[in-house]
Amino acid sequence: MLDAPMIDPHELRNAFGCLPTGVTVVSMLDEAGKPTGVTVGSFTSLSMSPALCLFSLGKQQASARLFKEGTPFVVNVLSTDLEGLAWQFAKPLEDKCAGAELTESLVQAPRLKDAIAHFACHAYTIHDGGDHIIVVGEILDFDHKEGDALIFYRGQMQTSAPL
């Protein structure tokens, strides 16, 4: 068996950052029933039937402890004009949602009013992913509208506006 290779986590992060990702906020309720959320770039589509999506969360993130099978949440796809929310939900703030316009969703989780797409889900399965958990969500409701998606690339925010 080969020895485990020496991997520099900082360089690995930089290499992962060469692939642009969309920027989402996953919103849910905390243990006290208060709206909260976390900025997530690992969101991806998974299955059409059943309708499934997935994202990963670092096990050390405070929000990771909120997810177990059945947990309701909404994935909010951010547009370029919502960059401020992307940075806000990426900070360990006491009130993550301060100033954010929230509306109700089909599930017991808030949604960000101005996102260009919403996927209202409950956690279908949770998987181990090393130092992350992988949350597979079953999509119960969704919507989308026009707008240029916010993109995260090499550590910076970009726009997906057509050339």
Ligand X SMILES: Cc1cc2nc3c(=O)[nH]c(=O)nc-3n(C[C@H](O)[C@H](O)[C@H](O)COP(=O)(O)O)c2cc1C
E-strand ranges in the chain read: 21-22, 24-29, 35-40, 44-47, 52-58, 72-77, 102-103, 111-112, 117-129, 132-144, 150-153, 156-159
When asked if residue 42 is in the footprint of ligand X (CB under 6 A), the reply is yes
Q: Which ranges constitute the DSSP H helices of the chain?
A: 9-16, 83-88
| Residue count, binding to ligand X (CB under 6 A) | 18
When asked if residue 57 is in the footprint of ligand X (CB under 6 A), the reply is yes
When asked if residue 119 is in the footprint of ligand X (CB under 6 A), the reply is no
Residue 5 is classified by DSSP as P
Cβ neighbors of 143 (< 8 A, separation 6 or more) are 117, 118
When asked if residue 63 is in the footprint of ligand X (CB under 6 A), the reply is yes
Q: How far is the CB of 30 from ligand X (least distance, A)?
A: 9
Q: How far is the CB of 51 from ligand X (least distance, A)?
A: 20
Closest to ligand X by CB, 49 or 125: 125
**Window 68-107: residues binding ligand X (CB under 6 A):** 86, 90-92
When asked if residue 133 is in the footprint of ligand X (CB under 6 A), the reply is no
Of 83, 64, 63, which is closest to residue 23 (Cα–Cα)? 83
**Window 6-35: residues binding ligand X (CB under 6 A):** 23
Site residues for ligand X per CB under 6 A = 23, 38-42, 55-58, 61-63, 86, 90-92, 152
